[in-house]
Amino acid sequence: MKELKVSAINKGTVIDHIPSGKGLKVLEILNLPEDNTILVAINVKSQKLGRKDIIKVEGKILNEDEVNKIALIAPTATVNIIDKWEVVEKRNVEVPDEIVGIIKCANPNCITNYEEVKPKFKVISKKPLKLKCHYCERTMEENMVVKNLL
Protein backbone atom coordinates (compact mmCIF):
# COMPACT_ATOMS: atom_id res chain seq x y z
CA MET A 1 0.00 0.00 0.00
CA LYS A 2 1.34 3.40 -0.98
CA GLU A 3 2.28 5.59 2.02
CA LEU A 4 0.43 8.88 2.33
CA LYS A 5 2.61 11.89 1.58
CA VAL A 6 2.73 14.39 4.44
CA SER A 7 1.85 17.21 2.06
CA ALA A 8 -1.37 15.68 0.78
CA ILE A 9 -3.33 18.86 1.30
CA ASN A 10 -3.28 21.85 -1.01
CA LYS A 11 -2.66 24.65 1.47
CA GLY A 12 -2.45 24.58 5.28
CA THR A 13 -0.53 22.90 8.10
CA VAL A 14 0.50 19.33 8.80
CA ILE A 15 1.44 18.50 12.37
CA ASP A 16 3.53 15.37 12.15
CA HIS A 17 5.36 13.18 14.71
CA ILE A 18 2.81 13.73 17.46
CA PRO A 19 3.38 11.05 20.13
CA SER A 20 0.82 8.30 19.63
CA GLY A 21 -2.33 9.01 21.63
CA LYS A 22 -1.76 12.75 21.91
CA GLY A 23 -3.31 13.68 18.52
CA LEU A 24 -6.82 14.31 19.79
CA LYS A 25 -5.43 16.33 22.71
CA VAL A 26 -3.44 18.49 20.27
CA LEU A 27 -6.58 19.02 18.25
CA GLU A 28 -8.51 19.96 21.40
CA ILE A 29 -6.02 22.57 22.56
CA LEU A 30 -5.74 24.17 19.10
CA ASN A 31 -9.48 24.85 19.17
CA LEU A 32 -9.56 25.32 15.38
CA PRO A 33 -12.46 27.05 13.60
CA GLU A 34 -15.25 24.69 12.54
CA ASP A 35 -14.95 25.58 8.83
CA ASN A 36 -11.44 24.09 8.50
CA THR A 37 -11.20 20.62 6.99
CA ILE A 38 -9.17 18.52 9.42
CA LEU A 39 -7.71 15.07 8.82
CA VAL A 40 -6.53 13.08 11.81
CA ALA A 41 -4.43 9.92 11.62
CA ILE A 42 -3.91 7.96 14.80
CA ASN A 43 -1.36 5.26 15.54
CA VAL A 44 0.44 5.55 12.21
CA LYS A 45 3.69 3.55 11.84
CA SER A 46 6.71 5.78 12.33
CA GLN A 47 10.44 5.07 11.98
CA LYS A 48 11.24 7.82 14.49
CA LEU A 49 8.59 7.15 17.15
CA GLY A 50 7.36 3.59 16.44
CA ARG A 51 3.79 4.91 16.35
CA LYS A 52 2.65 8.49 15.88
CA ASP A 53 -0.40 10.66 15.26
CA ILE A 54 -0.72 13.17 12.41
CA ILE A 55 -3.08 16.14 11.99
CA LYS A 56 -3.64 17.92 8.71
CA VAL A 57 -5.46 21.24 8.73
CA GLU A 58 -6.63 22.56 5.36
CA GLY A 59 -6.51 26.34 4.84
CA LYS A 60 -4.87 27.29 8.17
CA ILE A 61 -1.30 28.34 8.94
CA LEU A 62 -0.59 27.96 12.65
CA ASN A 63 0.76 31.01 14.42
CA GLU A 64 3.62 31.00 16.95
CA ASP A 65 1.35 30.75 20.01
CA GLU A 66 -0.40 27.72 18.55
CA VAL A 67 2.91 26.04 17.75
CA ASN A 68 4.13 26.71 21.30
CA LYS A 69 0.99 25.15 22.70
CA ILE A 70 1.72 21.96 20.75
CA ALA A 71 5.25 21.87 22.17
CA LEU A 72 3.87 21.66 25.71
CA ILE A 73 2.10 18.32 25.14
CA ALA A 74 3.78 16.95 22.01
CA PRO A 75 7.44 18.00 22.14
CA THR A 76 8.45 15.63 19.31
CA ALA A 77 5.98 17.17 16.83
CA THR A 78 7.04 18.84 13.60
CA VAL A 79 4.94 21.50 11.94
CA ASN A 80 4.94 21.57 8.13
CA ILE A 81 3.52 24.52 6.27
CA ILE A 82 2.02 23.43 2.96
CA ASP A 83 1.43 25.51 -0.14
CA LYS A 84 0.36 24.07 -3.52
CA TRP A 85 0.74 20.49 -2.23
CA GLU A 86 4.40 21.12 -1.27
CA VAL A 87 6.08 21.54 2.12
CA VAL A 88 7.34 25.13 2.00
CA GLU A 89 8.49 25.35 5.62
CA LYS A 90 9.32 22.75 8.26
CA ARG A 91 9.63 23.58 11.92
CA ASN A 92 10.46 21.57 15.01
CA VAL A 93 8.32 22.69 17.89
CA GLU A 94 10.25 23.81 20.93
CA VAL A 95 9.16 24.74 24.41
CA PRO A 96 9.99 28.45 24.66
CA ASP A 97 11.80 30.02 27.64
CA GLU A 98 8.69 31.99 28.51
CA ILE A 99 5.04 31.08 27.97
CA VAL A 100 2.51 33.88 27.83
CA GLY A 101 -1.28 33.66 27.63
CA ILE A 102 -1.76 29.98 26.73
CA ILE A 103 -1.88 28.29 30.14
CA LYS A 104 -3.73 29.42 33.22
CA CYS A 105 -2.03 29.23 36.59
CA ALA A 106 -2.94 26.11 38.56
CA ASN A 107 -2.79 28.04 41.82
CA PRO A 108 -6.45 28.90 42.53
CA ASN A 109 -5.32 31.91 44.57
CA CYS A 110 -3.07 33.38 41.85
CA ILE A 111 -4.04 36.93 40.92
CA THR A 112 -4.07 35.99 37.20
CA ASN A 113 -7.19 33.92 37.87
CA TYR A 114 -9.04 37.05 39.02
CA GLU A 115 -7.75 39.97 36.91
CA GLU A 116 -7.72 40.63 33.15
CA VAL A 117 -4.06 39.75 32.73
CA LYS A 118 -2.30 37.23 30.52
CA PRO A 119 -0.77 34.47 32.66
CA LYS A 120 3.01 34.34 32.20
CA PHE A 121 5.38 31.51 33.06
CA LYS A 122 9.12 31.07 33.08
CA VAL A 123 10.19 27.62 31.90
CA ILE A 124 12.55 26.35 34.59
CA SER A 125 12.92 22.88 33.08
CA LYS A 126 12.01 21.64 29.59
CA LYS A 127 12.48 17.95 30.32
CA PRO A 128 10.63 17.17 32.50
CA LEU A 129 8.48 20.21 31.87
CA LYS A 130 8.35 22.56 34.86
CA LEU A 131 7.01 26.10 34.77
CA LYS A 132 7.08 28.89 37.33
CA CYS A 133 4.31 31.49 37.45
CA HIS A 134 5.75 34.97 36.93
CA TYR A 135 3.16 36.41 39.33
CA CYS A 136 2.55 33.96 42.21
CA GLU A 137 5.92 32.11 41.86
CA ARG A 138 4.20 28.72 42.18
CA THR A 139 5.64 25.91 40.02
CA MET A 140 3.62 23.63 37.72
CA GLU A 141 4.63 20.18 36.53
CA GLU A 142 3.76 18.65 33.15
CA ASN A 143 0.50 16.95 34.23
CA MET A 144 -0.83 20.25 35.58
CA VAL A 145 0.23 22.10 32.43
CA VAL A 146 -1.93 19.90 30.21
CA LYS A 147 -4.93 20.37 32.53
CA ASN A 148 -4.54 24.15 32.52
CA LEU A 149 -4.09 24.90 28.82
CA LEU A 150 -6.34 27.80 27.83
Helix (H, G, I), strand (E, B) or coil at 113: helix
Candidates 136, 144, 146, 149: give the one binding other proteins (CB under 8 A): 136
- Is 136 flagged in the annotation as binding? yes
Q: Give the Cα separation of 88 and 97 in Å (integer).
A: 26
How far is C-alpha 1 from the chain's CA centre? 30
- How many amino acids of this chain bind other proteins (CB under 8 A)? 17
DSSP designation for 149: B
Residues in the chain: 150
Residue 25 or 138 having the CB closest to other proteins: 138
The stretch among 22-30, 49-57, 93-101, 103-111 that binds other proteins (CB under 8 A) is 103-111
Is there binding between residue 139 and other proteins (CB under 8 A)?
Answer: yes
Residues 6+ apart with CB under 8 A from 1: none
For Cα atoms 42, 38, 44, give the angle at the middle one, nearest 5 degrees.
20
The stretch among 47-55, 61-69, 93-101, 105-113 that binds other proteins (CB under 8 A) is 105-113
CB 115, min distance to other proteins, A = 6
50 burial via Cβ count (<10 Å: 0-12, 13-18, 19+)? exposed
Is there binding between residue 115 and other proteins (CB under 8 A)?
Answer: yes
Candidates 104, 135, 142, 144: give the one binding other proteins (CB under 8 A): 135
Is there binding between residue 64 and other proteins (CB under 8 A)?
Answer: no
CB 139, min distance to other proteins, A = 7
